[in-house]
Amino acid sequence: MKTDIAQLFHQHVLEGENLLWTGKPESKCPFTALDIFLIPISLVFGGIPIIALSFLISTAIYSYLHSSSDQFSLYVYIIFSIFLIPFVLYSLYFIIGRYIYKIWRNNNTYYAVTDRRLIKLTKFRYYKFKDYDINSIKGSELLQGSGDTGHVIWDTMTPPSTIYLLFFSRLYLLRGLIRNTGLDYWSGYAGEIEFYDIRKPKKVYELVEQLRSALKSSGSSNG
C-alpha cells in the first residue's frame, strides 16, 4: 500500500505554514561508494571476533564433553566467550546489519519542506518527529549521485572552532565519511538533518536556499 506522504505531514504543519515539498528515500540499493573500502574492512576486522568466539565455544564444548581439561580452563573459555559477545554483535552489524537497517530506514522515512521548517518523520512503532527551523540553518551540503538521486544535509550548529578541529579533527571527519553507510546509526548528531537518497536533490537544495534568503531579507526589513 502506497503511503500518501503529504497526508502524513498535514498534522505537523503549523497554522499559517505551507507545505512546499515532500519526499522519501528513493534508492533501493543499500550500498554506497564507500563500501568499496568498508566491506573488506568489515570482513577482516569483523571476522576476527566471530572466528575467536566460534573457536572458544567449540573448544569449551569439546573440553566439557571429553573432560580433556580441568574446570578452570572451561570457566576461562566461558568468560572470554561472554566478553567477546558485544564485539561479535557489533561485527555482525558492521558486516550485514547496517544494510538491513538502511533498507528499513529507506522504507520508513519521510521528508518535508515547509516555508518555515525542514521536517523528517521516521516510522517505527510510532512516528519519530524531527524538525529544524530554516532560520537556524548555518550551513548546507548537496551531494548529487550519478543518477537523479542524492543527498542534502543541513547543519544548524556553528562550524567547529580551530581548537576543536586541532584535537578532534579525525572524529569530525569520520562523522562526514560514514554518512548514509548505516554506521551513522551509532553516531547521531543533534545539529544535523539529512535528506538521504531523494529524487532531484538539487531542486530541494535550491528551494531551501531561496527560503533562507527570503527569511533573511524579511528579517532585515523588519529590523
CB proximity list for 166: less than 8 A, separation 6 or greater: none
pLDDT at 53: 93
Side chain identity, residue 176:
G
pLDDT at 165: 47
Query: Comparing C-alpha atoms, which of 145, 140, 138, 106 is closest to residue 123?
Result: 106
Helix (H, G, I), strand (E, B) or coil at 48: helix
How many other CB atoms are there within 10 angstroms of residue 75's CB atom? Answer: 11
pLDDT at 159: 55
pLDDT at 167: 47
Alpha helices in 67-190, H assignment, sequence order: 71-92, 98-107, 162-177
pLDDT at 67: 64
Look up residue 86 and give its three cell numbers. 558485544
pLDDT at 47: 93
Residue spans per domain, the chain:
35-104, 116-222
pLDDT at 69: 53
Query: Comparing C-alpha atoms, which of 29, 15, 33, 39 is closest to residue 115?
Result: 15
pLDDT at 42: 93
Adjacent-strand bridge partners of 120: 111, 130
Tens of pLDDT, residue by residue over 48-75, are: 999 999 999 988 888 777 765 567 777 8
Look up residue 115 and give its three cell numbers. 516555508
Give pLDDT < 50 ranges for the chain: 1, 164-171
Query: Comparing C-alpha atoms, which of 154, 146, 161 is closest to residue 130?
Result: 154
